[in-house]
Amino acid sequence: MSLRSHQFAELFGIILVLGATAVQIFYLEPLKRSIEWHQNVFTQQQNGHVVAEAVFDNRLAILKAMKAEPADIKAAEDDRKKLMDRYQTAHANVAEMVLDEQPVENILQMIVVAMFILGTLLTASGRLAEMRNTNRKTIPR
């Protein structure tokens, strides 16, 4: 039994649809979840950054109000600077990851949609050709 060209088109269309589904399930969805998790982490880091900055500002204000030793004030300012630098680095790392991964996600989404469209069209054209051939065989002339 040999396959006709429209049957090959239908088979290729089905393969494209299955491939698009596989890309969606096994790569695109986990990538999307990862980006969302990193965005949530970024939001939590920003909240922690605001809270830590407020705590250190209060600590410095209390030390200055109590007329603490300049060495104690300097140590508190150094601790504040170290922590704020760590937050800046963490923010940059998360932002960099999201900025790197989001274009990949967008391109993959376009590829998946194109694969679905092409696969559906090929499958439909194969089915249509098969129905035409069936109608030609059953309708007497």
- Residues 90-121 pLDDT 10s: 878 888 887 888 888 889 899 999 999 999 99
Angle at 115 between CA 111 and CA 116, to 5 degrees: 120
Q: E-strand spans in 3-137? A: none
Q: Look at residue 137 in the predicted model and tell me its pLDDT.
A: 66
Domain locations along the chain? 40-121
Q: How far apart are CA 79 and CA 63, in angstroms?
A: 14
Angle at 118 between CA 113 and CA 119, to 5 degrees: 95
Q: Look at residue 71 in the predicted model and tell me its pLDDT.
A: 92
Regarding pTM above 0.85, the answer is no
pLDDT value at 141 more than 60: no
Contact (CB, 8 A) for 11 and 123: no
Q: Hey, what are 141's tokens?
A: 């002339």
Q: Hey, what are 36's tokens?
A: 């969302």
